[in-house]
Structure 1
C-alpha cells in the first residue's frame, strides 16, 4: 500500500512482519515501536480502544479501491443479490467521499 508513495520520496519500507488482517496489525503496533499504514476509518475507530496514535503520512498515498466480485451465474440469484446489497450497505460508511454504493451488474 505504501511502497509507491515511499519510492516517490526516495525511501523504502523495512518490513518487520506481515499479517493477514488489520486487527493484528494495529494490536502489534499499539504494543511496540513499529509503525503501519492502515485504513484511516479503521484507525479512527480503534485508536481509543487499542491505545495508539494516528498521524498523517508525510507523503501522499494512493487510495485503495475495495470491490466485490462474483461469478456471473450468481448475478441474478436472489440470495446472492441480497448478500451483495448487505455488504455494500455495510461498507458505504467507510467511503470517505460518500460514493460508497457498490455497483450491481
Structure 2
C-alpha cells in the first residue's frame, strides 16, 4: 500500500536498512542521513531526541497488524487465557489513546 501511495505522488522509496526493533532503527537513523517511517507511538517516545527531526509522512501509511502467539498447549490454560485477554485489552486501550 505504501509503495502505491508514493507512486501516485511520483515518489519512490529506497530501502537501505531493515531491522526488527523500532528503537534500533531510530538510533541508526540518528547517526546517518537516512529517513525512517515509524509508528506514532514509537516516534512520540523519540521526539525529545535532538538528533531526530519528526515530520509527517507524505502519504497515508495505513495500519499494521499487532498479533500475539503462544504454544498450542496453552490454548485452554486459564491463567494464560487471562493474560492474553489482559494484554489484548491493554493494547486496545493503547491504540485508542494513540489515535487521539
User: Same fold judged by TM-score > 0.5?
Assistant: yes
Over 6 Å off, 4+ runs: none
Distance 1:75 1:4, change over 3 A: farther
Q: Give the corresponding residue for 2:67.
A: 67
> Which residue of structure 1 lines up, in the alignment, with residue 16 of structure 2?
16
The separation in 1 between residues aligned to 2:7 and 2:49, in whole angstroms, is: 32
The structure with the largest helix share of the pair is 2
Whether contact under 8 Å (1:47, 1:54) holds in the other structure is: yes
Runs of 5+ in structure 1 lacking a partner? 100-105
Contact preservation (8 Å) 2:29, 2:36: yes
Greater length-normalized contact order (CA 8 Å, ≥ 6 residues apart): 2
Residue in 1 that maps onto 2:76: 76
Q: Which runs of 5+ in 2 are unaligned?
A: none
Quote the RMSD (CA, aligned, Å): 2.8
Length-normalised TM-score, structure 2? 0.74
Alpha-carbon contact 1:29-1:35 (below 8 Å) kept: yes
CA 46–93 in structure 1, closer or farther in 2 if over 3 Å, else same: farther
Aligned length: 99
What is the Cα deviation at residue 68 of structure 1?
2.8
1:94–1:7 CA distance, 2 compared to 1 (3 A): farther
Q: Does 1:5 align with 2:8?
A: no
